[in-house]
């Protein structure tokens, strides 16, 4: 007879750290009050779900491992395929994370429809919406196809049975937080349930070669609810993000075992579902104010893709107390650093000013090339002088006030030229990387002093 020991552990709901006693603060991730007691039914015998893969074989020389051609299932969406690195790889698990209401289920439904239309059988398991609701939404966005099998279920064991019956070519689960496996005593949504359920689906995917798409919610702290452990297990993690007040949604790769992690997909939420945005720059610049101070355009790069964004700054006298520093769409720490550089190296007196920096359109940019844009926007607002409407700027700004070069100069310039810009201010070190015969007139600068002299 198998020995089964029942015990409880305390699991951190943020990072999955386990402890046998309760702790106020998780020693691993440092979060407070995240340890929750969960019952663990430990299966001492074989059959317990392993967290990784194990075949029991002997090690093989790497050149002797049989290569089966990597089969990719197109998701039917150029943007999604770009993010995935060319489509869904067979046997892979893809996790789509995002805030509630951002459009994950809509995106999933549209992808499933396209895959289904391509002839693949689909099993869509929802633990969140009734089949009627899903049908209604499908009708509204025009994503109904007889290859799509929909069921509401949250037991992993039952899902495995359904999987055997339907024999789908693609399995989708919305959301991983609603799943539970009867092998564990804790509630659905808890770290151990999410982890074990995902582990079972992972084994299923690897054994059958069927790709699995999981949807996961994000906590208010901005991480995938519960387990970062989940991110380690799956093959690709995509975040669906955007401001709910804006129609734009960005699908961003955080991890991808089968492709680049720099790619983004851009979508627009319309009344009939998500539309792909092939030319994001045009949209992000559509509402740019003409002849307003505190606004400048930066050609940024997301993966291989150039995107022009408008950086806005508002610098105004602060009231009492500490001045406010708010940054949206850029790293606030980075902005603080740039404010300090502007004060010390160029002598702009910003210490008693409220400073707001925003990237228009609700997109988030994590790229050093944006530094120069933030600096120019802040200086423009502070001095109340406008920046040439036909000019773009890009470059990293260092602590000594130097303007450093960035990569992929040509791609940025080409995109700026395509959208009708005629001047560009960039690092002097980048000048020789710019191709001969640029249609944009280039001004190379070495430090912030020169930047301000050139612009204002």
Q: Applying CB under 6 A, which of residues 106, 154, 312, 430 lies at the interface with ligand TYD?
A: 106
Residue number with CB closer to Mg ion (104 or 423): 104
Residue placing its CB nearer to ligand TYD in the complex, 143 or 379? 143
Residue with nearest beta carbon to Mg ion: 105
Under rule CB under 5 A, residue 11 binds Mg ion: no
Give the C-alpha separation, 79 to 81, whole Å.
Answer: 5
Nearer to ligand TYD among residue 85 and residue 103 (C-beta): 103
Q: Per CB under 6 A, does 404 bind ligand TYD?
A: no
Size of residue set near Mg ion by CB under 5 A:
1
* Residue closer to ligand TYD, measured from CB, 114 or 353: 114
Site string for ligand TYD, 49-88 (x = CB under 6 A): ----------------------------------------
Residue listed under structure tokens 């020169």: 450
Residue 157 CB, nearest distance to Mg ion (Å)?
23
Q: Is the dihedral of CA 200, 203, 205, 207 positive or negative?
A: negative
- Listed ranges 17-25, 26-34, 98-106, 304-312: which one lies at the site for Mg ion (CB under 5 A): 98-106
Contacts of 224 (CB under 8 A, 6+ apart): 95, 97, 216, 217, 218, 230, 231, 237
Q: Using an 8 Å Cβ cutoff, are 429 and 422 in contact?
A: no
Cα separation, 204 vs 195, in Å, equals 14
- State residue 139 phi and psi, 5-degree precision: -60, -45
- State the nearest-atom distance from the C-beta of 261 to ligand TYD, in Å: 22
Give the burial string for 76-90 (b: 16+ CB within 10 Å, else e). Answer: bbebbbbbbbebbbb
Q: Hey, is 349 helix, strand or coil?
A: coil
Q: Does 110 bind ligand TYD (CB under 6 A)?
A: no
Within 13 Å of residue 20, how many CA atoms lie on the same side as its CB? 2
Whether 401 contacts 341, CB under 8 Å: yes
Of ligand TYD, Mg ion, none, which one sits near residue 114, judging by CB under 5 to 8 A according to partner kind? none
CB of 158 to ligand TYD, least distance (A): 22
104 binds ligand TYD (CB under 6 A): yes
Q: Which is nearer to ligand TYD, 145 or 325 (CB)?
A: 145
Q: What share of the chain is helix, strand, coil (3-state, %, to 5)?
A: 30, 30, 40
ω into 175 cis (within 30 of 0): yes
Least Å distance, CB 272 to ligand TYD, is 5
Of 130 and 182, which has the nearer Cβ to Mg ion?
A: 130
Residue 411 has a CB neighbour count (10 Å cut-off) of 14
- The pair of structure tokens assigned to 54 is 């194990």
Please report, for residues 203, 210, 212, the alpha-carbon distance to residue 207 in angstroms, rounded to integers and kept in the order given: 6, 8, 12
CB of 79 to ligand TYD, least distance (A): 16
Does 98 sit near ligand TYD (CB under 6 A)? yes
Name 318's Cβ contacts closer than 8 Å, sequence gap at least 6: 324, 352, 353, 354
Cβ proximity to ligand TYD, 334 vs 364, nearer residue: 364
Interface residue with ligand TYD, options 52, 101, 420, 437 (CB under 6 A): 101
Closest to 362 (Cα-Cα) out of 331, 329, 326, 334: 329
Coil, strand or helix at 445: strand
Of the candidate residues 273, 299, 401, 444, the single one contacting ligand TYD (CB under 6 A) = 273
Question: What residue 272 binds from Mg ion, ligand TYD, none (CB within 5 to 8 A, per partner kind)?
Answer: ligand TYD
SS3 10: strand
Q: Does 193 bind ligand TYD (CB under 6 A)?
A: no
Q: Which of residues 253-272 bind ligand TYD (CB under 6 A)?
A: 269, 271-272
**Interface pick for Mg ion out of 105, 186, 312, 386 (rule CB under 5 A):** 105
Site for ligand TYD (CB under 6 A): which residue of 12, 102, 230, 296? 102
Contacts of 128 (CB under 8 A, 6+ apart): 105, 174, 175, 178
Binding of ligand TYD by 242 (CB under 6 A):
no
The residues in 132-151 that bind ligand TYD, with binding defined as CB under 6 A, are: 137, 140-141
What residues line the site for ligand TYD (CB under 6 A)?
Answer: 98, 100-106, 137, 140-141, 269, 271-273
What residues line the site for Mg ion (CB under 5 A)?
Answer: 105
């Amino acid at each position: 007879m198998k020995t089964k020991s029942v015990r409880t552990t305390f699991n951190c709901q943020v990072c999955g750290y386990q402890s046998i006693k309760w702790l106020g603060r998780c020693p691993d991730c440092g979060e407070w009050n995240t340890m929750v007691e969960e019952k663990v039914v430990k299966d001492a015998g074989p059959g317990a779900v392993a967290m990784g893969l194990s075949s029991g074989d002997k090690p093989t020389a790497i050149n002797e491992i049989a290569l089966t051609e990597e089969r990719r299932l197109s998701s039917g969406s150029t943007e999604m395929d770009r993010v995935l690195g060319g489509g869904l790889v067979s046997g892979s698990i893809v996790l789509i994370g995002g805030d509630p209401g951002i459009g994950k289920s809509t995106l999933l439904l549209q992808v499933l429809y396209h895959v289904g239309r391509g002839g693949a059988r689909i099993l869509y398991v929802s633990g969140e919406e009734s089949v009627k609701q899903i049908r209604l939404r499908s009708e509204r966005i025009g994503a109904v196809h007889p290859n799509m099998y929909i069921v509401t279920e949250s037991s992993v064991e039952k899902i495995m049975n359904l999987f055997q019956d339907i024999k789908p070519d693609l399995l989708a689960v919305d959301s991983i937080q609603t799943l539970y496996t009867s092998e564990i005593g804790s509630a659905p949504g808890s770290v151990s349930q999410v982890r074990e359920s995902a582990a079972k689906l992972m084994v299923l995917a690897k054994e059958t070669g069927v790709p699995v798409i999981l949807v996961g919610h994000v906590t208010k702290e901005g991480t995938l609810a519960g387990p970062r452990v989940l991110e380690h297990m799956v093959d690709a993690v995509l975040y669906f993000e955007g401001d709910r007040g804006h129609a734009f949604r960005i699908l961003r790769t955080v991890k991808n075992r089968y492709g680049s992690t720099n790619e983004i997909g851009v979508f627009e939420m319309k009344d009939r579902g998500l539309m792909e945005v092939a030319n994001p720059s045009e949209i992000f610049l559509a509402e740019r104010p003409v002849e307003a101070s505190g606004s400048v355009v930066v050609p940024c790069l997301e993966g291989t893709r150039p995107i022009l964004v408008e950086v806005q700054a508002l610098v105004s006298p602060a009231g009492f107390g500490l001045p406010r520093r708010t940054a949206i769409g850029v790293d606030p720490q980075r902005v603080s650093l740039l404010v300090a550089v502007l004060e010390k190296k160029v002598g702009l007196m910003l210490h008693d000013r409220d400073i707001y920096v925003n990237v228009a359109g609700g997109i988030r940019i994590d790229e050093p090339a944006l530094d120069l844009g933030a600096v120019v926007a802040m200086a423009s607002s502070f001095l109340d002088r406008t920046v040439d409407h036909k000019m773009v700027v890009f470059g990293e700004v260092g602590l000594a006030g130097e303007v450093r070069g960035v990569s992929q100069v040509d791609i940025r310039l080409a995109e700026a030229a395509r959208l009708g810009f005629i001047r560009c201010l960039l690092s002097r070190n980048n000048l020789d990387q710019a191709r001969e015969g640029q249609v944009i007139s280039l001004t190379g600068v070495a430090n912030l002093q020169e930047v301000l002299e050139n612009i204002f």
